Structure 1
Amino acid sequence: MTLTFKRAITPGVLAASLVSATLLPIKPAAADQNIWRDIGIGAGVGAASSAITRHKVVPNIINGAAAGAAVNQSRDLTTKKGQRPDFLRDAAVGAGTGAAVGSVTNRRHAVRNTANGAAVGAVINILTPKPRR
């Protein structure tokens, strides 16, 4: 009974701690830019790419949302005030994050994960082209 209880509870506890540890550092940056917008764009691009490629929806949404958050944070750190964000940098950050998240979630399609992340970075750059304030 104890072993069954541990096997049932441990993954949920680990997932909750991972999510809380991941989202807490993002909070201070949310005051500067709208991170939720970029996470939503990333999730939408992930859902659209899964519809186009006819693959699983949830892993692509997770991949896209993570890429959107990473693109938002990289824009905050690398773009000077009054300067427009760089298209290639956004696509590269999205691609790297897509590949990393795909390896963490045990998805075997590295090229697809990278392409999904790059698409997220490109779409975020196209939809939010305003210079940083």
Structure 2
Amino acid sequence: MKLQESTMHQNELINLNEYLLTKGFELSEEEIAKLVHVQKEICKNLKWIELDESKLYKIILPYTLSPYLSFDNKMITLENAILIYYKIRSMFDWHLDDETCITTCFKTYTSLYGIQDKELIKTIIIGLKKEGYNNNANDFNESF
């Protein structure tokens, strides 16, 4: 089973790096390890356990296609993408599926010209509420 999981992760890493190579850079094993660590810390802070081992790759894959991703900002952009996804996901009930959450976060990010800040999160929340998703949180936590 571990071998199968390892092969799956290697294939996903290869796919990510194929996208990034079109921009002239790739993610090293150390950078992937850092992104995995960021995901685990966020889940730990939320008191969550991520059961989908490919979720990290699903979250960051759209950002590899972003015109706003560069060699200089790739790690902070990808780390923030993970943070934003879990922050939004934790604020909405089960009706918001993962794919919609990932897509909405990325589309909002690109519509705001690649800026990742509190306004991005507020805009995502407003958009999801307009689409009829229920927000679990009564107030918006300003920490980002």
TM-score (normalizing by structure 2)? 0.34
State the structure with more CA Rg: 1
Specify which structure has the bigger relative contact order, considering alpha-carbon pairs within 8 angstroms and separated by 6 or more residues: 1
Question: Could you say which structure has the higher helix fraction?
Answer: 1
